[in-house]
Structure 1
Amino acid sequence: MLFAIALPRPANAAGTLYLQYRHWQPYSWPSDEPTAKDVSRSQRGLGWRYQGATSTVGLDYDYQPLRIRTGTPAHNGHLHRLTFGGEWQHNLYYLKTQVGVAGTSNMFKHQDFHRQVLNGRLAVFRAWQEGSAMSVGVGGDHRFGSFRWLPRLRWAQSTVYGHWQVDLPVLAQWQSPDQSWGVRMERAGDRWATLDKSREVESALYLREWRAELSYRLGFGHDSWPAVLLGLGASIDTRVRYQDLNAGNLDIRLGDSVFGRVMLSW
């Protein structure tokens, strides 16, 4: 009910459905273990956005296989995440929030959950003054590993050269005036609740990285045809933290990897 009240009138609103696929170049295993194979990674996602004049709400799902083929990981590498959230602007205040569940496939298949399956993000900003492009705030999430609160500085402005948005220390992006080209640098990271094969060991996997991407939109779609967005980027300083049944807790730097992305939106 609260989300429905926050939405603008239908005349000012628009709904968008999207499908997305991202694929990374394999990561080389960082140690000299002879039996270790490269770590493969991909991501499939779909979602829905409802955007109005001062608010946006959305529902997102993604499935991300992260195949670590060495040691005895206490997880199966099949990571699922379902989240609901939005953004709201009211006078000097701007709010971003997201809640959901994230865990391995065996957890959902057998409905065997533990408390770390619940996840969330929250950021609150206040503008310097009415009409100011600059605002300060605080945000909490898993982008840098374990959940932590960090001060945030946000600046957003549209000019004849495009739309600029900076949200330090997690995001910097630019979009061309016609919305065809985009450049984005962001801190990405989250936590997934995990179970081992026997579903006896409850733990969590943390995946975080810096992600840079150049994107180009092929048209904006019309009638039943979707808009197509192509992206090419790199994941930098990718790290994964998880429990190994024999080696204990591991914090591994997978390194850097190039990725490609395709998104269809209606």
Structure 2
Amino acid sequence: MFYGRCFPTAEGAPSWWLLLVIVLLTTLALPRSAQASDTVYLLYRQWQPYDWPEDVPSASEVTRSQRGLGWRRERADGDFGVDYDYQPLRIRTGEPAHNGHLHRFMVGGQWRHGLYRVQARAELAGTSNMFKYQSVHGDIATGRVAVFRSVHESSAFSLGVGGDHRFGSFRWLPRIRWEHTDDNGQWLADLPVLLQWQSPGSRWTLRLEREGDRWATLDATREVEGALYLREWRTELTYRINSGRPWWPAMVLGVGASVDTRVRYPDLDAGTLDLRLGDALFGSIRLDW
């Protein structure tokens, strides 16, 4: 029988998350270039259903989709934005100690200053009943942070370290970043989490990235506090149909696949489950203003 586990309240958020907030405030205070462009976007992504990974007579498909919206300001020395997404992950087998309605509120970006680059994102992520009843615990505070230093002023290589939930529980990993632009487009490698190519004019984009995050959870009675971890390798090819005009959005269509998708969450009967949902294709549409 699963009895849940105790977490600190939101006031007792992990020290690394407080450090992340300090990094965000510090980088916002750095000097900015005058030129900037703003983008507002809407996003919808739909996956094929996942087959339940175990041979259970009562098992049903796991369905998944994502809705997102946000605002981003891009400058010559980086970008900053505010994002929200809602991701229904409907697991109808067993007794999951969560309702499958996953919400994330995110603020952050990346900034360059001299030889250094900082990436930081603070998040509040949890199931819908936490926000509805304002019954939160410490796992609602999460985020990502990474710091790089260029090998020298003219080098395309940067070395750094980053911390996030992309591979499960929060962990720090060494990072190697490389950027290059030529007649064939723009190339970006941020190992071990991202490979990206953009065609000249940014009409086509191909990404292979490691995705993963944590959402704080509550069961239906709001007595069992837990956390859901969702992680995967995701590849996506997108095409920008048009560049947009005043009051008319640019449209970006995408097709891709989530590979080795895994989910870890508390089940009221079985305890903590760590399951491989498998692989699934998805399609996406994004509108940019």
TM-score interval w.r.t. the shorter chain?
over 0.9
User: Which of 89, 94, 103 in structure 1 is aligned with 2:126?
Assistant: 103
Q: 2:263: which partner in 1?
A: 240
Identical counterparts, % of pairs:
61
Q: 1:125: which partner in 2?
A: 148
State the secondary structure of the residue aligned to 2:228. strand
1:212 aligns with 2:235: yes
Q: 2:169: which partner in 1?
A: 146
Task: Return the offset for 1:83.
Answer: 0.7
Runs of 4+ in structure 1 off by over 3 angstroms are: 1-7
Provide the rounded CA distance (Å) in 2 between the counterparts of 1:171 and 1:2. Answer: 26
Distance 1:3 1:48, change over 3 A: farther
Q: 1:6: which partner in 2?
A: 30
- 1:150-161 matched pairs, under 5 angstroms: 150-161=173-184
- TM-score, normalised via structure 2 length: 0.90
Task: Return the offset for 1:55.
Answer: 2.0
1:7/1:56 contact within 8 Å kept = no
- CA offsets per residue over residues 32-87 of structure 1, 9 Å max, x none? 10111000000000010011110210000000000001000000000000010010
- The structure that is strand-richer by fraction is 1
Task: Return the offset for 1:2.
Answer: 5.0
State the secondary structure of the residue aligned to 2:202. coil
- 1:8-47 matched pairs, under 5 angstroms: 8-10=32-34, 12-47=35-70
Q: 2:138: which partner in 1?
A: 115
User: Which of 62, 70, 75 in structure 1 is aligned with 2:85?
Assistant: 62
1:192/1:204 contact within 8 Å kept = yes
State the secondary structure of the residue aligned to 1:178. helix
Task: Return the offset for 1:7.
Answer: 6.1
Q: CA RMSD in A?
A: 1.0
- 1:162-241 matched pairs, under 5 angstroms: 162-241=185-264
The aligned length equals 265
- TM-score, normalised via structure 1 length: 0.98
Q: 2:13: which partner in 1?
A: none
Structure 2 residues without counterparts, runs of 5 or longer? 1-24
Provide the rounded CA distance (Å) in 1 between the counterparts of 2:271 and 2:196. Answer: 38
Provide the rounded CA distance (Å) in 1 between the counterparts of 2:178 and 2:250. Answer: 28
Provide the rounded CA distance (Å) in 2 between the counterparts of 1:264 and 1:106. Answer: 29
2:33/2:77 contact within 8 Å kept = no
User: Which of 69, 76, 100 in structure 2 is aligned with 1:77?
Assistant: 100
